[in-house]
Structure 1
Amino acid sequence: MNKVILFSESTIDIPPELVAKYQIEIIPLIVNFEEETYFDGVTISPDELYKKVDEKKMLPKTAARTPLDYKEHYLKFLNQGCDVVHISLGYNFSSTYQNAFLARNELDDELKERVFLVDGKNLSSGTALLFLKAAKLRDLGKSAKEIAEEIEKIVPKVKTQFVVESLEYLHKGGRCSTSKRFLGAMFRIKPMIVVRGGRMDVGKSVFGSMKKSLNEMLKLFLRDFPKIDPEFVFITSTAADKSYRYLEEKMQELPETKQIKNLFHTEAGCVIASHCGQGTIGILYIMTEDVPENQL
């Protein structure tokens, strides 16, 4: 059986030590500030991105890699005798899946059959959760085809939710009107962003302090806990140290969290951060059953 390569984009938002441990191959997406082009996590860091946004008073444009880029990466592994499982950033969030699909179709028939493309229907560490499961299956000796089939079953079970501290980046990116931003600042509105059916939506908005919003997210986590797969849980944030410390402290006080086998904290990369801004934080996990599309 051929060696299996696990492959994704930089939007996976997984800590470098886990990338190395689980041998995950990552292609960086593109961050453009007018005429300046950077590669997410390679030639620009989140801290550098925040600084540039402050200096230029504008958000960057992010871009997927081209079909040719994907084809070249696939061929690098295929020519080494490896099979590829590519779990992509969700179809509805970017053209990454479409470009990867085109790249796969440009391969010779024999090579094409060794590339297994999965729409992760998620973003950030929601995709990372799928990769950790895929790595476990690979290490159990499963083939690329078997891994892809199992991951397809897990995709609808991933629960992704973030609290956005400020509407500034959403406003600059055209996802929030000026009036909503003004009202959000006045009433200290913190939207809770959720992924439902492969799409991003506002689950609810919490009025008041960030702590109040974090407590609301913890309530939802505890509600879900009896049906949570305890193997992997992520807390993912964007320059939200204070919120992370608060969330970590509260979670350590909960008897339920002692059942979590691996609780990871990671910082979101530049592409994700450019859309939600600093101060965003979320809890991401896998359920034991499909997440209802109408559930917060």
Structure 2
Amino acid sequence: MSNIKIICDSLADIPTELVQKYDIEVVPLSIIFDDKEYIDGVDITKVEFYKMLRENDKLPKTSQVTYVAFKNVFEKYTSQNREILYIGGSSKASGTYQSAVMAKNDIKQGTINTFDSLSLSIGSGYIVLAAARLSKEGKNVEEILNHLERLRNNISLLFTVETLEYLQKGGRISLAKATIGNMLNIKPILCLEDGSIKPASQARGKKQVISKITELIKEQHGQDLSKKQVIIGCGDNDIDLEALKKKLNEEFNLGDCVEVNLGSCITAHTGPGVLGIACCDK
């Protein structure tokens, strides 16, 4: 067994079976809905959260992982003489990474390494899984971090939404743009650039947006994805995920493709009808 302990936060959407397979410690953020606080993935399931989003007009708020929570988790593993590698969701989107760095700086025993993925959701999860695989192969922390830096510079993360309503409520677009966009069935395609969410393209209707996403992936990675890791994710719109997977199989030589239902940290901002893809070298 590797002496490295991989730790991430719940901004990374990693399927439960892979969390268990690689023994990854996931430190949860909190969700605040109507003044009630839920621990992400602990007090509320993804299905319950999607339902809550569908049935309420108010947007929930996400609350970063606290300094104390990180300190407790880090000390748990340094006391076992484990070398820690914490990989955080983008520091430009949440204060969670900074909480981890503060906790690390106050712990005098053991070795704690922190890495800012500058990504979110399946993009961050992609980087965490790469680290977990390398650790299982016996690579040391320096080798893993060098590989993660290359991934961070080359990963493609694209996602789209079912409705512009949630982006408007969250202040990312104006009410006028959301209203017109929804009337015209315009679907934005968003990406992560240097840790921040940016517009990448747009299309009209689900069929066209899936075609555009695959076109953008092809431009960046070519048609042969057999040696690349692909992660696709959705909220409660599994039918859209199946359509995306079908299109990927038609357009690419596809290798390893992981599917995941996205968690509350991303769907709180995008709505439950979100669809995304992350792609890069393994």
TM-score band by shorter chain is over 0.9
Matched, 1:172 2:169: yes
The residue number in structure 2 matching 1:117 is 114
* Contact 2:29/2:40 (<8 A) preserved: yes
Q: Which amino acid aligns with 2:126?
A: L
- CA distance in 1 between counterparts of 2:247 and 2:225 reads 18
Cα shift at 1:152: 2.4
TM-score norm. by structure 1 comes to 0.89
> Is the Cα–Cα contact under 8 Å of residues 85 and 148 in structure 1 kept in the other structure?
no
CA distance in 1, matches of 2:93, 2:198: 12
**2:44 corresponds to:** 44
Give the deviation of 1:5 after TM superposition.
0.5
Distance 1:219 1:75, change over 3 A: same
1:270 aligns with 2:264: yes
Give me the identity figure in percent: 31
Spell out, residue by residue over 1:98-126, the C-alpha distance to the aligned partner (whole angstroms, 9 max, x if none). 11111111111x43xx1000000000111
**Residue-by-residue CA offset, 1:241-293 (whole Å, 9 max, x unaligned):** 22112112222223x334x1x101101101111110122111211159xxxxx
Change (3 A) 1:250 1:53: closer
Aligned partner of 1:7 in structure 2 is: 7
Structural RMSD (CA): 1.9
| 1:107 counterpart = 2:104 | no
Q: Does 1:212 align with 2:208?
A: yes
Cα distance, 1:50 vs. partner?
Answer: 2.9
Deviation string 1:158-187 (CA, Å, 9 cap, x unpaired) is 110001121111122222221111111111
> How far, CA to CA, are the matches of 2:267 and 2:234 in structure 1?
9
Tell me, in whole angstroms, the C-alpha distance in 2 between the residues paired with 1:6 and 1:270.
22
Moved more, 155-164 or 136-145: 136-145
Q: Is the 8 A contact 2:155 2:280 kept in 1?
A: yes
The 5 A counterparts of 1:61-100 are 61-100=61-100
The whole-number CA distance in structure 2 between the counterparts of 1:181 and 1:52 is 21
TM-score normalised over the length of structure 2: 0.94
> What are the ranges of 5 or more consecutive residues in structure 1 without an aligned counterpart?
289-296
Q: Which amino acid aligns with 1:231?
A: K
Q: Equivalent residue for 1:151?
A: 148
Q: Which runs of 5+ in 2 are unaligned?
A: none
Partner AA of 1:273 in structure 2: T
How much does 1:83 deviate?
A: 0.7
Question: Equivalents in 1 of 2:53, 2:18: separation in Å?
Answer: 29
Q: 2:274 aligns with which of 245, 266, 280?
A: 280
In 1, are the aligned partners of 2:6 and 2:25 still within 8 Å (CA)?
yes
Find the counterpart in structure 2 of residue 17 from structure 1: 17
The residue identity in structure 2 corresponding to 1:35 is D
Give the alignment of 1:186-205 within 5 angstroms: 186-205=183-202
Q: Paired residue for 2:221, among 222, 225, 228?
A: 225
Match of 1:291 in 2: none
| Cα distance between partner residues in 2 of 1:267 and 1:158 | 20
Q: Distance in 1 between matches of 2:53 and 2:266?
A: 14
Instruction: Check conservation: 1:2, 1:83, Cα contact below 8 A.
Output: no
What letter matches 2:139 in structure 1? K
TM-fit CA distance, 1:189:
1.1
Q: 1:228 offset after TM fit, Å?
A: 5.7
Structure 1 CA distance for aligned equivalents of residues 93 and 73 of structure 2: 22
Is the alpha carbon distance of 1:242 and 1:2 closer, same or farther for their aligned partners in structure 2, counting shifts above 3 Å? closer
Count of aligned pairs? 281
* Counterpart residue number, 1:257: 253
Taking the aligned partners of 2:247 and 2:149, their CA distance within structure 1 comes to 33
For residue 6 of structure 1, what is the amino acid of its counterpart? I
